Amino acid sequence: MNKDSLKNILDDIASGRISPEKALAEISSAGVADLGFAKIDTSRKERCGFPEFIFGEGKEASHLVSIIRQLDSQKECVLATRISPEQAAAVLKEIPSIHYDSSARILLLNPPSEKRGNIYIVSAGTTDLPVVLEAKYTAEACGCQVTLMQDAGVAGIHRLLSRTEDLRKADVIIAVAGMEGALPSVIGGLVPCPVIAVPTSVGYGANLGGFTAMLAMLNSCASGVTVVNINNGFGAGCAAARIIHSLQQA
């Protein structure tokens, strides 16, 4: 509960509009829709700028359906990530209007119509596609505008350099790469805007399932590159949306 809301309640007590008991209950239960097995965070959009999204991995289909219905009833954009085809099929049977993208492994309902800001997602190779799409869906679910630039890895660096002017126009760039994860370092040296690096698990052996790319990105020689978890297109999309949100306030 933020200070303004709290102040309002205190004023209400002072003016006798509500009793201290009722105020205490309201303070205690604010911002939660309790489903028993889950506590939906109903004030997240107010606090963070985007509603509670659903991490789908390992969730039972019946739980997914209940959570989606609760969020839908709040008129939120519903985004569920890491949804397997089996989970999706079970949810679609109950909620046929929801959209499922099997490459991105995402369920989507009530996407917002606004498209603010200018986010570029650049990837090193075609195999990074699922992570690129997860980032794209997430940023769009937060009301942002997204442009893709795929397969621009540094082994043929002219592919990237020839697009430098476009990149310099972005508000924020999401750089997606596996293997040695060099892409964000090169991009970071070419542009002034924020660069969010997303390591992917593309590669094998000493790539350690993406850990190598992640470590490399955390050690980027390009100053001011930030990093999210391996394959975490979702996190990158939210981080970019937070930046666009600050831009809108500026």
* Residue with Cβ nearer a copy of itself (96 or 158): 158
- The span of 83-91, 92-100, 107-115, 163-171 binding a copy of itself (CB under 8 A) equals 163-171
CB of 27 to a copy of itself, least distance (A): 7
Q: In the chain, which ranges are continuous DSSP H helix?
A: 3-14, 20-29, 44-48, 61-73, 85-94, 129-141, 158-161, 164-167, 183-188, 211-218, 233-249
Pick from 85, 164, 175, 176 the residue near a copy of itself by CB under 8 A.
164
The verdict on 63 binding a copy of itself (CB under 8 A) reads: yes
Strands 78-81 and 54-55: parallel
The verdict on 162 binding a copy of itself (CB under 8 A) reads: yes
How far apart CA 103 and CA 242 sit, in angstroms, is 25
How far apart CA 141 and CA 109 sit, in angstroms, is 9
**Helices 61-73, 85-94: inter-axial angle, 10-degree rounding:** 50
CB of 221 to a copy of itself, least distance (A): 5
- The span of 25-33, 70-78, 86-94, 107-115 binding a copy of itself (CB under 8 A) equals 25-33
CA angle, residues 224, 229, 231, in degrees to nearest 5? 115
The verdict on 196 binding a copy of itself (CB under 8 A) reads: yes
* Residue with Cβ nearer a copy of itself (109 or 167): 167
The verdict on 226 binding a copy of itself (CB under 8 A) reads: yes
